[in-house]
């Protein structure tokens, strides 16, 4: 069996990867001096605190403190576990993961490996079930009703295949009798939401007599299903429950398919149901996704805006549709930076995207998308409807009602335009009024900037410089001279020196990787964020200077202590030898 990923491979991978290029493959960065900046993807903010350093191959957010190397970034941004993140980075860099022979590994790595293995098994099983459902659409004795239904919805075989749509007959164990082989696989199917435990201790199929829509994650793995009933039974749509691999608030139905169908996506349309997504694709609008529930969650919006800059939410024009749109807008506000747009389409009564595109076709539907209502218009309309616009009081309360929403918007051209609009139409229109409103709108939820205040001590400076320029470790010939020093940080410094001397090619992100699970990793990250203002060409000199200071301080302290002992007559034989050695060294 393949073991854990080899340390050497991780080192090689981090040497190949470029963190700036990696981050830019997922979000846009602006050059700011030596570094790159953006609004932080890990917390909501309006001015950029997220910094990526090409020199250090490290990212750090001054707002929320998130930091790390390329692997950490993928773990956080793509929500992957460690092994998945390494695999993803490897495929990004075009490298093949190298694993070690599985000889006894530390407990934590073993646990991670087991978890990873379990997940792999889960994905594998869900993939097999999905293929079984697809095969049932061709082979089941009552397949004709399902085929008739899909044809009735205007779907071609090609689209049915592209979305992996399948079928399962109405029986208690249609799927279980194929996949439930022993206690272990039965439990796994229950855990994955495919079977229901029931009373009689004999788990049975959750999905029965339904057309099956597999739900894929970003990486294209089947993580759950939606099932549409063929007759009039209830519920019409049945979905997988939350499981260890399926978190519905984070996934979007159709996103994987949309990415597969489009080399570069410009916009995404959010619709309510699976059938809408599939019907739109059938008619050439192959960039629709469904939010797998009524509300669009902040996580889903984040995924959307990490994929495209223009998101159009398409809802029913009724009350429920408008409420859903409002919630989506509220969740999206912190993500609307310059260059990003959120728009809304409200469909006429009784229409859904499926019916509309079937009646009117692609061009008409896209014309509706092109005319979508901008976020600002939706915001104004919604808030104005709630106040009496004919009175001064009503207009004043309208200005108030805007404030919490403005506070969520990042500073942007759009925000300025909205403030102008409010000031001109509902305020006094004076410059003063605008300035006051802008100030209020921008201060409500400013992130607290965590100051990295690091007192300069020789140990800290030595560690920081070594971390940034690992090659300077070679300037110390004998690490053991530092070992006796009783100064905080010396053990870490010695550890780092040995690590760098034993691995002459090592770079900053690889060092961080060695300390991923260790407490010292946090100290290292903090030192890496520290602005010590030592230029690269002076690093070796300043480093040696710090080491010398450390040694001198130590000798001074020891001498002082020993002299004091001598004065009080408490010097031992050992102390005498040490004192002599120090004094003769000083006289040389």
> Under the rule (CB under 5 A), what is the footprint of Zn ion?
40, 42-43, 61, 63-64
Burial bucket for residue 43 (CB in 10 Å: 0-12, 13-18, 19+)? middle
Strand 2-5 to 99-101 pairing? antiparallel
CB of 514 to Zn ion, least distance (A): 25
Q: What is the CA 334 to chain-centroid distance, rounded?
A: 16
CB of 331 to Zn ion, least distance (A): 18
CB of 45 to Zn ion, least distance (A): 6
Please state, in angstroms and rounded to a whole number, the distance separating the CA atoms of residues 362 and 282.
Answer: 10
Kindly provide the b/e burial profile for residues 413-444, where b requires at least 16 CB atoms within 10 angstroms of the residue's own CB.
ebbeebbeebbeebbeeeeebbeebbeebbee
Q: Which residues pair with 52 in a beta bridge?
A: 36, 59
CB of 76 to Zn ion, least distance (A): 10
Q: Which two tokens stand for residue 83?
A: 């092994």
Please state, in angstroms and rounded to a whole number, the distance separating the CA atoms of residues 67 and 58.
Answer: 7
Please state, in angstroms and rounded to a whole number, the distance separating the CA atoms of residues 32 and 247.
Answer: 37
Please state, in angstroms and rounded to a whole number, the distance separating the CA atoms of residues 151 and 136.
Answer: 16
Q: Which residue, 45 or 513, has its beta carbon nearer to Zn ion?
A: 45
CB of 61 to Zn ion, least distance (A): 3
CB of 453 to Zn ion, least distance (A): 18
CB of 334 to Zn ion, least distance (A): 12
CB of 38 to Zn ion, least distance (A): 10
CB of 70 to Zn ion, least distance (A): 17
> Does an H or E element contain 57, and which?
none
Please state, in angstroms and rounded to a whole number, the distance separating the CA atoms of residues 409 and 422.
Answer: 15
Question: Residue 68 — left, alpha, or beta (φ > 0 → left; ψ -120 to 50 → alpha)?
Answer: left
Q: What is the CA 406 to chain-centroid distance, rounded?
A: 25
Please state, in angstroms and rounded to a whole number, the distance separating the CA atoms of residues 84 and 70.
Answer: 13
Q: How many residues does the chain have?
A: 588
Q: Are 353 and 271 spatial neighbours (Cβ–Cβ below 8 Å)?
A: yes
Burial bucket for residue 567 (CB in 10 Å: 0-12, 13-18, 19+)? exposed
CB of 367 to Zn ion, least distance (A): 40
Angle between helices 431-443 and 392-408 (to 10 degrees): 40
Q: Which residue, 61 or 86, has its beta carbon nearer to Zn ion?
A: 61
Please state, in angstroms and rounded to a whole number, the distance separating the CA atoms of residues 568 and 558.
Answer: 16
Q: Which residue, 42 or 132, has its beta carbon nearer to Zn ion?
A: 42
Strand 67-68 to 58-61 pairing? antiparallel
Selection from 387, 386, 376, 348 nearest residue 364 by Cα: 348
Q: Which two tokens stand for residue 476?
A: 């110390």
Q: Which residue, 451 or 455, has its beta carbon nearer to Zn ion?
A: 451
Q: Which residue, 39 or 175, has its beta carbon nearer to Zn ion?
A: 39
Q: What is the DSSP code (8-state) at residue 253?
A: B
Q: Which residue, 62 or 123, has its beta carbon nearer to Zn ion?
A: 62
CB of 56 to Zn ion, least distance (A): 17
Please state, in angstroms and rounded to a whole number, the distance separating the CA atoms of residues 380 and 287.
Answer: 28
> Does an H or E element contain 214, and which?
strand 210-216
Residue written as tokens 């004192």?
A: 579
CB of 42 to Zn ion, least distance (A): 5
Q: Which residue, 43 or 565, has its beta carbon nearer to Zn ion?
A: 43
User: Which ranges constitute the DSSP H helices of 240-297?
Assistant: 255-261, 274-282
Angle between helices 490-502 and 520-529 (to 10 degrees): 80
Q: Which residue, 301 or 418, has its beta carbon nearer to Zn ion?
A: 301
Q: Are 392 and 314 spatial neighbours (Cβ–Cβ below 8 Å)?
A: no
CB of 62 to Zn ion, least distance (A): 8
CB of 327 to Zn ion, least distance (A): 24
Backbone angles phi and psi of 481, in degrees to 5: -65, -20
User: Which ranges constitute the DSSP H helices of 58-99?
Assistant: 70-77, 82-92
Q: Are 571 and 579 spatial neighbours (Cβ–Cβ below 8 Å)?
A: yes
CB of 510 to Zn ion, least distance (A): 24
Q: Which two tokens stand for residue 188?
A: 């796994």
Q: Which residue, 72 or 239, has its beta carbon nearer to Zn ion?
A: 72
């Amino acid at each position: 069996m393949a073991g854990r990923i080899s340390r050497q491979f991780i080192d090689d991978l981090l040497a190949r990867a470029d963190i700036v290029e990696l981050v830019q493959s997922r979000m846009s960065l602006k050059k700011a001096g030596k570094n790159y900046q953006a609004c932080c993807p890990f917390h909501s903010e309006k001015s950029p605190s997220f910094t990526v350093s090409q020199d250090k191959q490290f990212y750090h957010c001054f707002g929320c403190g998130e930091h790390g190397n390329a692997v950490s970034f993928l773990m956080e941004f793509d929500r992957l576990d460690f092994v998945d993140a390494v695999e993803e980075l490897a495929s990004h860099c075009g490298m093949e993961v190298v694993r070690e022979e599985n000889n006894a590994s530390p407990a934590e790595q073993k646990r991670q490996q087991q978890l990873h293995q379990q997940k792999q098994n889960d994905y594998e099983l869900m993939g097999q079930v999905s293929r079984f459902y697809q095969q049932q659409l061709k082979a089941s004795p009552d397949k004709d009703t399902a085929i008739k239904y899909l044809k009735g919805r205007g779907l071609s075989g090609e689209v049915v295949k592209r979305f992996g749509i399948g079928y399962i007959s109405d029986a208690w164990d249609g799927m279980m009798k194929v996949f439930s082989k022993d206690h272990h696989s039965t439990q796994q199917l229950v855990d994955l939401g495919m079977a229901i435990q029931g009373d009689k201790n004999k788990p049975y199929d959750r999905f029965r007599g339904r057309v099956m829509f597999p739900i894929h994650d970003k990486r294209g793995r089947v993580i759950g299903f939606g099932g549409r009933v063929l007759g009039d039974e209830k519920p019409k749509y049945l979905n997988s429950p939350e499981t260890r691999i399926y978190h519905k608030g984070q996934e979007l139905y159709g996103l994987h398919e949309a990415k597969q169908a489009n080399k570069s996506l410009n916009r995404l349309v959010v619709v309510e149901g699976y059938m809408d997504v599939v019907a739109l694709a059938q008619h050439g609008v192959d960039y629709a996704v469904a939010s797998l529930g009524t509300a669009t969650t902040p996580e889903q919006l984040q995924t959307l805006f990490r994929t495209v800059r223009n998101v159009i939410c398409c809802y029913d024009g009724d009350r429920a549709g408008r409420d859903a749109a409002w919630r989506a807008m509220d969740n999206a506000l912190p993500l609307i930076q310059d260059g990003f747009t959120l728009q809304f389409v409200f469909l006429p009564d009784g229409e859904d995207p499926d019916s509309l595109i079937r009646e009117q076709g692609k061009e008409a539907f896209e014309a509706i998308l092109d005319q979508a209502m901008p976020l600002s218009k939706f915001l104004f309309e919604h808030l104005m409807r709630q106040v009496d616009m004919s009175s001064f009081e009503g207009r004043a309360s309208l200005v108030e009602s805007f404030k919490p929403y403005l506070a969520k918007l990042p500073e942007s051209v759009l925000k300025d335009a909205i403030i102008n609009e409010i000031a001109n139409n509902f305020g006094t229109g004076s410059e003063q009024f605008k300035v006051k409103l802008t100030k209020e709108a921008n201060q409500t939820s400013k992130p607290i900037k965590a100051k990295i205040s690091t007192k300069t001590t020789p140990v800290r400076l030595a560690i920081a410089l070594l971390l940034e320029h690992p090659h300077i470790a070679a300037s110390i010939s004998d690490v053991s001279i530092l070992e006796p020093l009783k100064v905080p940080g010396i053990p870490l410094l010695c550890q780092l020196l040995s690590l760098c001397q034993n691995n002459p090619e090592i770079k900053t992100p690889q060092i961080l990787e060695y300390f991923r699970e260790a407490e010292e990793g946090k100290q290292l990250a903090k030192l890496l964020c520290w602005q010590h203002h030592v230029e690269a060409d002076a690093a070796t000199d300043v480093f040696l200077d710090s080491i010398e200071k450390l040694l001198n301080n130590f000798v001074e302290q020891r001498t002082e202590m020993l002299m004091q002992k001598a004065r009080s007559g408490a010097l031992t034989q050992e102390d005498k030898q040490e004192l002599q050695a120090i004094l003769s060294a000083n006289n040389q």
